[in-house]
Amino acid sequence: MIFTKRFFTILLLFISSIAVAQELEDKTLLTIDGNSYDAGTFMRVYLKNLDIVQDDSQKDIENYLDLYIDYRLKLMQAYELGLDNKESYKKELNNYRQSLAQAYLTDTEVTESLVREAYDRKKREVNASHILVKVGPGDTPHDTLKAWNKINSIKNELDNGADFSQLARTKSEGPSAGNEGKLGWFSVFRMVYPFENAAFNTPVGKHSDIFRTDFGYHIVKVFEDRPARGEVTVSHIMTFDARDASEKTAAKRIQDVYKQLQESGKFEELAREFSDDMSSASRGGKLDRFGTGGLNAPVFEDIAFGLEEKGSYSAPFKSKFGWHIVKLIEKHPVGSYEELAPSLKEKIRKSPRARKITDSFNKGLREKYNVKRSEEVLKVLNETITDSILTNSWQFDPSIKTAGLKMFSINDKDITYADFYKDVVNRQKKDFTNYASREDKIKKIYYDFIDKSIAAYYDRNLVNENKDFAFIYDEYKEGLLLFDLLETKIWNKAKEDSLGQQAYYDLHTDKYQWKRRVDIILTQNTTEEVATQVQQLLMKGTSREEIKERFNIDGRTKVMMSNGVVEETYNRLPDNFEIKEGVSSIYYDEKTGFYKVILVKEILEPTQKTLEEARGAVINDYQQQLEKDWMSSLRNGRNIKVNKKVFKKVKKAIAKNV
């Protein structure tokens, strides 16, 4: 069996809510060679794994105690071998820790609120227009005021009954101005977060208050609001004319394909044969599922969503990309909150709205450690840091009189001005944001530095700050150690011990037998017509290369071929395949949409596998034998004691939890 470290440790990371009796938390349940193990940890491990254990015997607490003892013995051996000192182990553990800590460096309540908000919006779509007056984050106060005055004047006109579309066309500075500010239909995550908020919080037929994004000042008007259409999966056949084409044939070609489709109904075959969309033609025209706005082609999307019956297809129509025929494969309504919450959470994490979570988390930490943003500190910084910071060229002079002074404290850790000045120098190397003034930039860096410092402190002390993290982190450490131990004692030995493999093979030759096999050339063809021609060519003895050269031209793959010796149960052979030498009948594979023709060159009857042929299976079986022998030797020479009184209480406490 082959494991990866990630897979192996994930087996240990199924987290559940575990109630451990407080009076048993630190009681010693087990000692091995003088090392003590508490009842609380044993109960957490047992209850955590209870739902994922398949073997009922392992649910028996007496049996599970034996497994737990073996687990501890393995870890002791890993430490005795010094596996925890390996650089690769330390590096991997650090990577895991950073990943694990992310779940504890966030505000879960705000996260949940944002996920719920995103889900509610995912069930809606709005049709809106907007007016934009551009102003950037680093623009001067003068330019910002000028932009504000302009957008405020527009807002006053709208409030007094002016036509929104007219003002968007004549006064908006956005790219949609020429189209009266129209944005079309959109749902959650299609717009920047402040814009989305305004659009979803403005009643139909009304315009919003003025709001700002990184692009400038906006006013949005919502014209329609409807339930979301969800997503759809379709296939299409597409034709288009190249810009420099001397003759425009796309419209005629799509009509010809449509006639063939009405006669044959074989959409996938026609897509492979005639569609100009090379990225989807090989898949029978199938496109990845999409929702409103997903293709940036409203005509195409409306027709795709307008199809009602699975398998139904549209008449030819034209989009900005070319001519199409669309076939409905499946509609995907908006799923339940439980289904979508994980993906929504990931989208939020990667979007600017995650700043709301970070801000709330940092605010909580500032309160926890009693760290306040100080106007006095800002005054010192403004007296010390020059205008050169605006060009990212400010240099820290260690002799600055404030360098050694305390800026603030986090518990017993003092943060000095020098720590901040060094951070400023490092930040200059990668911060190219435009700021309106030196004071604005210093203030932003100061606030960010506080938050970064307290978050780093909390992260470093997570083991002491959070019991859940400590428990799971210990499991990470132990899981990685066990992986390295098994790799050292079992897996590597099984792979590298060629004499042991030979001896094991010689004792178990009856386990390694070939089933009946066939030496074949397997062809997969896009249409039945092509398959018939390939069948005839194979009967004539035409080579694979000649067949592929004949059919696979102009960038279109009509025939795929593979060859080799396979067992009769090979999964790419048709279910009802008749094994006999020669060229087969034509078999249609409904799963792939291909027509298969197989040339059976030779039938090989069951035989004994050589060691080389059986090497993979032999290594796997030999590995299991090594592990069995090793497990039986684990307790040799160990002094193991179970506190029976504590174990009795543990059994009672666990009985209340299950």
In tens, the pLDDT along 505-562 reads 999 999 999 989 999 999 999 999 999 999 999 999 999 999 999 999 877 889 999 9
The torsion region of residue 233 among left (phi > 0), alpha (psi -120 to 50) and beta comes to beta
Encoded amino acid at 397, one letter: D
pLDDT of 56:
65
C-beta of residue 272 within 8 angstroms of C-beta of residue 284: yes
Instruction: Locate 402 and state its tokens.
Output: 């404030």
The set of residues, in sequence order, having a beta carbon less than 8 Å from that of 474 and lying 6+ positions away, is: none
Instruction: Quote the pLDDT of residue 658.
Output: 63
pLDDT given at position 616: 93
Question: Quick one: which of 178, 515, 119 has its CA closest to 345?
Answer: 119
Q: Collect contacts of 376-384 with beta carbons under 8 A, ≥24 apart.
A: 377/407, 377/408, 377/446, 378/442, 378/443, 378/446, 380/417, 381/420, 381/442, 381/446, 382/438, 382/439, 382/442, 384/417, 384/421
Task: Find residue 225's DSSP bridge partners.
Answer: 126
Looking at residue 25, what is its pLDDT?
Answer: 80
**Strand 35-38, strand 124-134: pairing:** unpaired
- The H-or-E segment that residue 88 falls in is helix 87-101
The DSSP annotation for 561-591 comes to EEEEEEETT-TTS-TT----SEE---EEETT
Q: How far apart are CA 321 and CA 287, in angstroms?
A: 15
**C-alpha to C-alpha distance for 64 and 259, rounded to whole angstroms:** 69
The pTM of the full predicted model, rounded to 2 decimals, is: 0.62
Strand-by-strand arrangement of the 124-134 sheet: 182-186, 124-134, 216-227, 211-213
Using alpha carbons, list the distances in angstroms from residue 339 to 308, 333, 342, 377, 477.
Answer: 24, 12, 7, 48, 31
- pLDDT at residue 22 in the model: 67
Residue 623 has what pLDDT? 93
Percentage of the chain beyond pLDDT 70 is 95
Q: Which residues contact 104 (CB under 8 A, 6 or more apart)?
A: 462, 466, 468, 469
Question: CA 352 → CA 194, 218, 357, 446, 490, distances in Å?
Answer: 10, 18, 10, 21, 48
Predicted confidence at residue 15, as pLDDT, reads: 36
Q: Which run of H or of E encompasses 413? A: strand 413-416
Asked if residue 110 lies in contact with residue 356, where contact means CB atoms within 8 angstroms, the answer is: yes
| C-alpha to C-alpha distance for 300 and 304, rounded to whole angstroms | 6
What is the C-alpha separation between 298 and 304, in angstroms, rounded? 10
Domains of the chain, first to last: 124-227 (3.10.50.40), 231-332 (3.10.50.40), 369-460 (no CATH), 514-604 (3.10.50)
Q: Name the strands in the sheet holding 28-32, side by side, starting at the edge strand that comes first in the sequence.
A: 35-38, 28-32, 640-642
Half-sphere exposure of 109 (CA within 13 A, CB side): 4
SS3 annotation, 446-506: HHHHHHHHHHHHHHHCHHHHCHHHHHHHHHHHHHHHHHHHHHHHHHHHHHHCHHHHHHHHH
- Give 237's strand partners: 325
Mean pLDDT, consecutive 10-residue stretches, the chain (658 aa), reads: 45 42 81 92 82 64 91 93 92 89 86 95 96 88 92 97 96 93 94 95 97 95 96 97 87 95 93 93 94 91 96 96 97 95 92 91 94 95 94 92 94 94 92 87 95 94 88 88 90 92 94 93 94 96 94 88 93 91 94 92 93 94 92 91 92 80
